[in-house]
Amino acid sequence: MIEGKRQKQVAAVLEKDLNEIFQRMGLTMMDGGMISIASVKITPDLFDARIYLSFFKITDAVATLNKIQEKAWEIKKELTARVRHQLRSMPQLTFYIDDTLDYVDKMEQIFKEIKVQDKNIADNLDPKEN
């Protein structure tokens, strides 16, 4: 589904302010790793905001996500204060783990394996047969 202009505008405002809130609250560095906001997606009715968090060098992403969700009320309260003149109503915030980096790592590993297999096949071919 194509994101509308207003959805993109609201998402950009929320992402900017959420980044500042996360830094102020010390949520960017937790459990020996780093947390960043990968993206913010808004539903067409502007009532729900999906915040995708990227975790770097965090062993238990689910437990860290639970810690952030425990502070969701405090995050939403501060965010509401920041955007009260820009939005009529504050969207419901839902946090998700952004697994894009894991997916990229997995795909790179698959491509490396394919490259090794292709090299092995090429090395095993007899040049006389070609």
Distance CA 4, CA 6 (A): 6
Q: Which residues contact 43 (CB under 8 A, 6 or more apart)?
A: 7, 49, 50, 91
Query: In this structure, how many other beta carbons lie within 10 angstroms of the beta carbon of residue 80?
Result: 15
Q: Residues 65, 91: one domain?
A: yes
Q: Residues 126, 86: one domain?
A: no
What pLDDT digit, counting tens, does each position of 6-32 carry? 899 999 999 999 999 999 888 888 878
| Residues spanned by the domain of 129 | 100-130
Answer yes or no: pTM beyond 0.85.
no
Q: Residues 106, 90: one domain?
A: no
Query: In this structure, how many other beta carbons lie within 10 angstroms of the beta carbon of residue 101?
Result: 12
Average pLDDT over residues 67-75: 92
Helix (H) / strand (E) element for 20: namely: helix 5-25
How many domains in the chain?
A: 2
Average pLDDT over residues 90-116: 87
Q: What pLDDT band is residue 129 in, cutting at 50, 70 and 90?
A: low
Q: Residues 52, 62: one domain?
A: yes
Q: Residues 69, 125: one domain?
A: no
b/e burial code for range 12-35 (CB count within 10 A of at least 16 → b): ebbbebbeebbeeeebeebeeeeb
Distance CA 37, CA 112 (A): 29
Q: Residue 130: is its pLDDT beyond 60? A: no
The percentage of the chain sitting over the pLDDT mark of 90, rounded to a whole number, equals 38
